[in-house]
A and B are shown apart, each in its own frame.
Chain A
Amino acid sequence: MNIKQSLRKISFFDVITILIASIVILFILSVVVMLIFKGIASINKEFFSKEIIFALTLSLSTASISTIVCLLFGIPTAYVLTKTKIPFKRFFEVLIELPLSLPNLVLGLSLLLIFASPFGKMLSEAGFRVIFSKAGIVMAHTLVNLPFVIRMIKTAFRSVDKRLEFIAQSLGASKFKSFLLVTLPLSRNAIVGAVILAWSRALGEFGATLMVVGVTRMKTETLPASIYLNIATGDMGAAMSSAVILLIISAASLFLFNCFQKDMR
Chain B
Amino acid sequence: MKKNNMVCVNNFSLALGDFHLNQICLDIEEGEIFAILGPTGAGKTVLLESIAGIYEGEKGVVFLDGKRVCDSAPNKRDLAFVYQDYALFPHMTVMENIKFGLKMKKIDKNKGNERINELITLLKIEHLMNRYPANLSGGEKQRVALARALVLNPKLLLMDEPFSALDPKTKEQMYQLIKKIHEAFGCTIIFITHDFNEAQRLAFRIGILIGGSIRGVCESQALFHGNMEKDVEDFLIRKEINMKMVSNLN
Contact = CB atoms under 8 A, between A and B. Distances in A.
Interface of A: 161, 163-164, 166-175, 177, 181-182, 185-186
13 contacts: A166-B52, A166-B74, A167-B81, A167-B83, A168-B100, A170-B52, A170-B75, A171-B152, A172-B75, A174-B73, A175-B73, A185-B91, A186-B90
Contact of A172 (B81, B83, B87, B105): B105
Given A171-B80, A172-B152, A173-B104, A182 B75 contact: no
Contact of A186 (B54, B75, B77, B91): B91
Contacts of A174: 73, 75
Interface in B53-76: 54, 73-75
A226 B172 CA distance: 73
B54 A166 contact: yes
B42 interface: no
B71 to A, nearest CB: 15
B9 interface: no
Contacts of A181: 100
A171 B89 CA distance: 12
The 7 lowest CB-CB distance pairs between A and B, nearest first, are A172-B104, A169-B74, A171-B101, A172-B105, A173-B104, A163-B87, A185-B91
B79 interface: yes
A170 B105 CA distance: 11
A180 to B, nearest CB: 11
Contact of B83 (A163, A169, A171, A182): A163
What is the predominant secondary structure among interface residues of chain A facing chain B? Answer: helix
A172 B74 CA distance: 8
B101 A172 contact: yes
Of listed A163, A172, A175, residue having the most chain B CB within 10 A: A172
Interface in B199-228: none
Contact of B87 (A161, A173, A175): A161
B148 interface: yes
B213 to A, nearest CB: 25
A168 B97 CA distance: 10
B143 to A, nearest CB: 16
A218 to B, nearest CB: 47
A169 B89 contact: no
B90 A170 contact: no
Nearest to A177: B104
Contact of A164 (B87, B101, B105): B87
Given A182-B89, A186-B91, A171 B54 contact: no
Interface string B19-61: 0000000000000000000000000000000001010000000
Contacts of A177: 104
A258 B84 CA distance: 34
Contacts of A170: 52, 74-75, 77, 79-81
Contacts of A168: 89, 100, 104
Given A170-B74, A181-B100, A186-B91, 11 more contacts: A161-B87, A163-B87, A166-B74, A166-B81, A167-B89, A170-B77, A170-B80, A171-B75, A171-B80, A171-B152, A173-B104
A186 B101 CA distance: 18
Nearest to A170: B74
Contacts of B87: 161, 163-164, 167
